[in-house]
Amino acid sequence: MTDRQGFASTSLPRHLLRGATGFGALIGSFALLPVLGIGSLLLAPIGLLALRGCPACWAIGLVQTISMGRLQRSCKDGVCELTVARPGGSHEHDESRPGSGVPVAY
């Protein structure tokens, strides 16, 4: 498993804009059925494209985007640990420094 954030966006405003566009288009495609008829369903693929395929994936990406840079996973000898990254410095976990990372159970 890699440390790559598969569903995250580069910024929180960009991710929220994708969500507003995607959910707006999906809701609009069904809400506008009585007004526009079957043609309103053309908004559904636009919504799914903005959400990159599924609303659940967008929600996972939101959590990843928010936590990006705040949590760090490090694995050593088959044991993985999730630590809170140090503010203002490198995100590398330095075990020789006390208080360099607070272990978080997961």
pLDDT tens string 22-64: 999 999 999 999 999 999 999 999 999 999 888 998 999 898 8
Distance CA 61, CA 52 (A): 10
pLDDT tens string 13-24: 999 999 999 999
Give, to the nearest 10 degrees, the angle between helix 55-67 and helix 12-31. 160
User: Residue 78: pLDDT band by 50, 70, 90 thresholds?
Assistant: confident
User: Residue 84: pLDDT band by 50, 70, 90 thresholds?
Assistant: confident
Please check the confidence at residue 68 and state whether its pLDDT lies above 50.
yes
pTM: 0.61
CB atoms within 10 A of CB 96: 5
